[in-house]
Structure 1
């Protein structure tokens, strides 16, 4: 008969509570933000409403989840980022289905959900690296990834979608992320320097093939 009060059992229960509370909070926050972004599309004027449905903006949720959970073991930050992104998709399309005229075809929710399973863990790690990175490379890589995805979306908005307001907002965010998240002047400069090629690589690898297929 196992001893439920042994130190090992107590640690196991404490670890389980950490996982449940952390992932529940990330999922709940993602659901709320998903509903909010759906509503914001109706609130924001003109081309600005596309920012609410921006993949770059959505990655901030996973990055924030990873940063908040950075003191936990890294797998918690990974799962937290995933839950935040999956929650965003569920909240956005759930509100579209039950609060508006319906979400339509399942294709786009499934595409966004698939992207959430990739971007969520990656940006969860990026947030944890920024918050608790043991060396400068990780503290730079995390914000550089976030800034890079804003740069990629700025290029997409400018060159393919011709949404000038969204393009300027995303490109401004690409610059602001390193300035706001860098701890020193050197880290800010390194982060911005790394973000530029990351944005170009992401655009070439992700956006160009997608636009070719849709065209």
Structure 2
């Protein structure tokens, strides 16, 4: 049974990544605001890496799972877009692949840290900060999409409440939030310049 569990944990990031990437491509042409923001954002993809990392027993496996999930999201997204007849720009593929290479392992590790509770609060704060900083920097300040900013802010609060409950990480999560919010804000500002 442990071998089967390890196999599932190892393959899950690939399937989750492909599925989320494909679904993102499909929903971009049918979703409306504020929900459209969920398929045009970084935080949902980082959440996939977080979930993939949380499934792993070891930190090294969690970082690889986060990387695999985010890279497969890029593959799933662009394969679906190509199959639907939308042109694929290799420059965008390369940019999102670089984002996957950077963000995937970090958020895979964050998922692992959250599940293990070591260091307490860090993993949860990382994911909450990703959503909150995207709400403020990308959706409110850069784009002026208030409904999307509110949606992302609500998701950040729900995540804080839900993730902080695991192993009673609320206090330590709050301590990590300020530096991680600043890091998230800087990351979204850079991404806005690169993608803008």
TM-score by length of 1: 0.80
Alpha-carbon distance, 1:115 to partner: 0.8
Q: Deviations over 1:8-32 (max 9, x none)?
A: xxxxxxx998876533321122101
Q: Structure 1 unaligned segments of length 5 or more: list them.
A: 1-14
Q: Distance in 1 between matches of 2:13 and 2:94?
A: 20
Aligned to 2:141: 159
Residue from 35, 40, 43 that aligns with 2:22: 35
Q: Structure 2 unaligned segments of length 5 or more: list them.
A: none
| 166 and 27 in structure 1: CA distance in 2 versus 1, 3 angstrom threshold | same
Residue from 82, 89, 109 that aligns with 1:125: 109
| 214 and 68 in structure 1: CA distance in 2 versus 1, 3 angstrom threshold | closer
Alpha-carbon distance, 1:150 to partner: 0.6
Say whether the 8 Å CA contact 1:81–1:121 is kept in structure 2.
Answer: yes
Q: Larger Rg: 1 or 2?
A: 1
Aligned to 2:128: 147
Residue from 74, 85, 89 that aligns with 1:105: 89
Q: Distance in 1 between matches of 2:23 and 2:76?
A: 8
Residue from 142, 167, 176 that aligns with 1:194: 176
TM-score by length of 2: 0.87
What RMSD, in angstroms, separates the aligned Cα atoms of the two structures? 2.6
Across the two proteins, how many residue pairs are aligned to each other? 195
| 73 and 189 in structure 1: CA distance in 2 versus 1, 3 angstrom threshold | closer
| 77 and 43 in structure 1: CA distance in 2 versus 1, 3 angstrom threshold | same
